[in-house]
Structure 1
Amino acid sequence: MMRRLLLLLALLCGAVPSALAHKPSDSYLSLDVKGNAISGQWDIALRDLDFAIGLDQDGDGKLTWDEIRQRHVAIAAYALGRLSLSSDRGVCRIDAGEQMIDDHTDGAYSVLRFRVACPAPVAALTIDYSLFADLDPQHKGLLRLTRDGVTSTAIFDPAHARQTLSLTAPDRWKQFRDYVKDGVWHIWIGYDHILFLLSLLLPAVLLAAPSNNLRGAFIDVLKVVTAFTLAHSLTLTLASLSLISLPSRFVESAIAASVILAAVNNIYPLFRGRRPVAAFVFGLIHGFGFASVLIDLGLPKGSLLASLLGFNLGVEIGQLCIVAAFLPLAFWLRDTWFYRRLLTGGSALIALVAVVWFVERAFDIQAQTMGAWAFAAK
């Protein structure tokens, strides 16, 4: 029995990439402009750099300071080779500086400092960003650009790799739109958040079965989604404003545990009619997960509030799109054998996937390692 369970978990590990269980790949680029000189700092996740250029020299799965220090030249060359800055007077020269290590909400980051010299004082800065573009199409670069105490923001990805930012008149509306889009994208690729929400919504259409109308299902979905929205909006705001802080490992593990409980509830009732209450309680934890993007960027309050509002709005839009796609289809299928099997079998599969995520996060075990254990037990 144990061998079969391990083999099943191994298959799940292979079907669900480890990256899906964690915060998406982001880097944090800060530029401080003074005349024609720019001071830069670029925080890049060590796990991403290890995948791209190989930092683990002895292959033991652990990174030491000596291993990272030996690769400082390679890190600077790789990163700065994928960043170009220019003003209206021409290309700016970038020189690498010191490198350090810092902890973000989702792990250790290489901190690369650099200096930039432009041909003339900068009024508008064009940035070409292609870090990890060939390895991870979902990677995003979050920029904080400061000049004379005024902060601008931008988000780079392969589809928006080249952007020009005005330092004299920052486009606040564009910045707001960027964070709305990032919020939508964050929920759409946040598979743990999606599975938690779907687990709570799967029974909703069955409540409408006796009266054979959509109204009962809609009301139930509205209660669940509203409770989840209120809860994660509250903790997203508090965490982004640094009023409350929880360890990332605890937050990510608790999110995985919430998916397990929500899925198991569809097989063996745990909440007994209190799914909106469960959505609110667990939504508080999910809000800390959403906040990690804004916390790591370290925006001043003036820029943070607009980014926070845009990001949260984007999360809600993305969430409503998922509900809008789910509810009519689920209502149409509710009386079928397929849907009843989906409710139990699908929930069991979601719970098993979430168990893999929980083990990865709580015990810092990679899916590949779990798979190796499973096949060794054959």
Structure 2
Amino acid sequence: MRLKAFLTTLVAAVVTVLLCGAPAQAHVRTTSVAIDLRSHGDGVAAVVDVEYDVLGKLLSLDGLSSNTGLPSPDGTVADVPTDARRKALDAHATEVAAYVGGRVRLSRGAIGCTPQDDHRVELTDAGAVRVSLTYDCPASGAFTVRSDIFRASDGVVDDTTTKVAYDVDGHRGAALLDHAHTSVTVGHTDLLSEIPRLVRLGSEHLLFGLDHVLFLLALLLGANRLRDVVQVASAFTLAHSVTLVLAAIGWISAPTWIVEPLIALSIAFVAIDNLLSPRAAHRLPVVFGFGLLHGLGFAGALSVDGQVSVSTLIDLVSFNLGIELAQLTIIAVAFPALLFLRRAATAPAAARTLTLGTVAATLAVAGSGLVWFVERSPLLT
């Protein structure tokens, strides 16, 4: 009798658990995401397909009320007209691209790829939202894609399956991601082979960044001796190296809309300071402070995706080395030319001409910095 009573109780308990658990399982909300990646040199094109209903619920798109889109407890779905969905996507294309682009992160050799401004958001014939993005991935090494689209903390679905198809760096294949496995890496990393490419990337970033070049020229225009150049160059190098590394590994951050206008303002400040205080003792602290800002600007071209490692540090040092080489090249060309002109202008008339030319050049640099400050400042545009 005791055995019969025990078995009866056990069966009743199992049935109760199954009956209570069934509705919960039936109401688990799942969705799928498809990511297609194709590389072309340093560029990578990403096409991401997501469910409109889930995305609309998450971003509260127009045309999708709180009672439509996702399945209700009885399993029904309130439909949204196709035209209304297209209008909602057109109105919120930037927001949609920002969400998807922020949740799909690409990297090569632990160096994050930089998303470009061009994107396209459209509604497919199947009713899904298709977001086309492009990334600049100038680093080399193993390629990694991470996806956090519709993670559980978003509160709109309980589980997301992401299918990744890739044709990147000569590697083709597919992978399936979920909440427990959010990334896949293809290819291999050759530690030493990345150094020349990162050095070149750092050099190009300084040489093609006209604001950084003008800041250096402003410093050179205010330097009278080689000792002055060494001091300001050392202060600038130390400052921007610190913030470059810390920002790249994610330990510090600052909004671009703050950093970029201040970088422009630093150009104007140093140039005007050359005229007002040519022998000012505050020059080194000022250069160091502005160097911290420029380091944050340099870090915009380089970000670390994943944990910091020896390989990551080598990449950062290589990138910074490229910046320093370009900086030394500018100094080696511009400062001797400036010294030659100063020494050659021995006659009073030539000296006055050189002085006027220096003032004109300084004012031109200062004017460029002020114009960029106005253009970049969200409060003034």
1:349 maps to 364
Matches for 1:122-271 after TM superposition, within 5 Å:
140-142=136-138, 146=142, 169-205=188-224, 217-269=225-277
Q: CA offsets, 1:243-295, max 9 Å, x none? A: 11111110001101101101111222287133222111110111000011112
Q: Contact 1:43–1:111 at 8 Å: present in 2 too? A: no
Alignment map for 1:330-369 (pairs within 5 Å): 330-334=338-342, 335=345, 336-363=351-378
Distance 1:148 1:141 in 2: 11
Distance 1:245 1:276, change over 3 A: same
SS in structure 1 at match of 2:254: coil
Residue in 2 that maps onto 1:293: 301
C-alpha distance in structure 1 between counterparts of 2:256 and 2:196, whole Å: 27
Identity of aligned residues (%): 32
**Rounded Cα–Cα distance in structure 1 between residues aligned with 2:338 and 2:369:** 22
Q: Which amino acid in the other structure matches residue 325 of structure 1?
A: V
Residues 271, 363 of structure 2: 8 Å contact kept: yes
Counterpart residue type for residue 193 of structure 2: K
Distance in 2, Cα, partners of 1:268 & 1:218:
21
Give the CA deviation at 1:178: 0.8
Q: What SS does the corresponding residue of 2:100 show, helix, strand or coil?
A: strand
Q: Give the CA RMSD over aligned residues.
A: 4.2
Structure 1 residue 198, shift from structure 2 partner: 1.1
- Give the partner amino acid of 1:347: T
Aligned with residue 321 of structure 2, among 291, 313, 319: 313
2:203–2:324 contact (8 Å) kept in structure 1: yes
* Letter of the 1:357 counterpart: W
Please identify the structure whose Cα radius of gyration is greater: 2
Q: Would the alpha carbon gap of residues 109 and 244 (structure 1) be closer, same or farther in structure 2, given more than 3 Å must change?
A: farther
Q: What letter corresponds to residue 221 of structure 2 in structure 1? A: L
1:66 maps to 90
Bigger relative CO (Cα 8 Å, ≥ 6 apart): 1
Q: 1:234, CA displacement in angstroms?
A: 0.7
Letter in 1 for 2:283: R
C-alpha distance 360-65 of structure 1, shift in aligned 2 (>3 A): farther
CA distance in 2, matches of 1:274, 1:65: 53
d(CA) in 1 for partners of 2:331 and 2:47? 35
Aligned 8 A contact 1:102 1:110 in 2: no
What is the CA–CA distance in structure 2 between the aligned matches of 1:176 and 1:187, rounded to whole Å? 17
**Do the aligned partners of residues 65 and 105 (structure 1) sit closer, same or farther apart at CA in structure 2, a change above 3 Å counting?**
farther
CA pair 364-148 structure 1, distance change in 2 beyond 3 A: closer
TM-score (structure 2 length as normaliser) = 0.53
SS at match of 2:276: coil
**1:36-75 pair list within 5 angstroms:** 42=46, 66=90, 69=93
CA distance 1:232–1:262, shift in 2 (3 Å): same
User: Amino acid of the residue matched to residue 257 of structure 1?
Assistant: L
Letter in 2 for 1:319: Q
Q: Name the residue aligned to 1:325.
A: 333
Distance 1:309 1:176 in 2: 9
Q: Could you give the per-residue CA deviations for residues 30-79 of structure 1, whole angstroms, max 9, x where no partner exists?
A: 979xxxxxxx87499xxxxxxxxxxxxxxxxxxx9516759x9xx9xxxx
Contact 1:255 1:282 in 2 (8 A): yes
Return the TM-score normalized by structure 1.
Answer: 0.53
Alignment of 1:89-104 (within 5 A): 100-102=100-102
The aligned amino acid for 1:301 is V
1:318 maps to a residue whose letter is A
Between 246-255 and 273-282, the greater mean CA deviation after superposition: 273-282
Q: CA deviation at 1:299?
A: 5.0
